[in-house]
Amino acid sequence: MVSHYLFLSIILFCLGILGVVSRRNVFIVFMSIELMLNAANLGFVSLSRLHVNMDGHVLALMVMAVAAAEAALALAVIILLHKHKGNLDTNIFSLLKG
């Protein structure tokens, strides 16, 4: 049963990588990164369940806390870039160089 969850985790992580590599919209890239983090959480929790300890659950909670902070900062940067430039193409991030 755990192998099904790990297989699902691998599929979700690969879909996230595909979204980051192939898309140019910042929101799609951001959602793909969140999908990869959630796939890693699913893997942590399923392996923790397999080994009957709580380490994976604790690690998944820490990843969720980091993802929440990352989401707040990334959305703030995206909103500011959209306000100043008007589009959300990933090439806009080259403007952040000093």
- The pLDDT, as a whole number, for residue 3 is 92
Asked if residue 30 belongs to a domain, the reply is: yes
Does the pLDDT value for residue 34 go beyond 80? yes
Label residue 45 by pLDDT band (50, 70, 90): very high
Please classify residue 71 by burial: count the beta carbons closer than 10 Å to its beta carbon, then call 0-12 exposed, 13-18 middle and 19+ buried.
Answer: middle
Report the C-alpha gap between 82 and 79 in whole angstroms: 5
Domain containing residue 85: CATH number = 1.10.287.3510
The domain of 62 spans 2-90
In a domain, 29, yes or no: yes
CA dist 71 → 29, 38, 53 (Å):
12, 13, 29
Cα–Cα–Cα angle for 60, 62, 67, nearest 5°? Answer: 90
- Domain count within the chain: 1
**95 within a domain of the structure (yes/no):** no
Identify the pLDDT of residue 37.
Answer: 94
Domain-located, residue 77: yes
- Given this model, what pLDDT does residue 86 score? 78
- The reported pLDDT for the residue numbered 93 is 67
Establish if 24 belongs to a structural domain: yes
